[in-house]
Structure formats: C-alpha cells, structure tokens
Amino acid sequence: MQVKEPWEVLGLDLTGPLPETARNKKFIFTMTDLYTKWVIAEPMQSKTAAEVSAVITTKLYMFGMVRKIITDQGKEFVCK
C-alpha cells in the first residue's frame, strides 16, 4: 500500500496483558501514522470493544479523521 500524506492511513494495535500499573492499566493501545511513523500510545484497563472504540473516538476528535484504518482483525476491532 502506498501512503501519500500524513494521517491518511493509521495502523491500530493492542498489546498485553502486561504487568498491571498502579492505575490498573495492563494493555497498551497504539495508533501509528503509516506515513510519518508517528505513534500515539494509550494505556488501557481492558481490551473490550467499548474501551477500544472510546480511545479511537477520543483520538480522532483530537487529531482529525483519517481515510483508512488498518488492524490485525483482533476481536476488539471486529464487529460481531
């Protein structure tokens, strides 16, 4: 895939479970701009679809919409 400009295509991923933090966070959600390679990382308590979608929505409100989102088809990214 050829990406021609910043914030055109984002890659999403979820890592964990990791050792739990003092604030009960044990997953790390990442959004990577595939043009600039800029990464946004957000600690999360769980990897439910509801929590993942809330983080995505918040970040898109902060930084703007994108043309395409790519995931690894993990269950938190796929509609039932």
The 10s digit of each residue's pLDDT in 5-64 is 999 999 999 999 999 999 999 999 999 999 999 999 999 999 988 899 999 999 999 999
Q: For residue 77, what is the DSSP state?
A: T
Give the whole-angstrom CA distance, residue 28 versus residue 26: 7
pLDDT of residue 22: 96
At the topology level, CATH places domain 9-70 in Nucleotidyltransferase; domain 5 (3.30.420)
What is the model's pLDDT at position 72? 81
DSSP structural state of residue 76: T
SS3 80: coil
Q: What secondary structure does DSSP assign to 29-59, as a single string? A: EEEEETTT--EEEEEES---HHHHHHHHHHH
Structure confidence at residue 8 (pLDDT): 96
Residue 67's SS3 state is coil
pLDDT of residue 79: 59
Residue 49's pLDDT is 85
Res. 67: pLDDT tops 90: yes
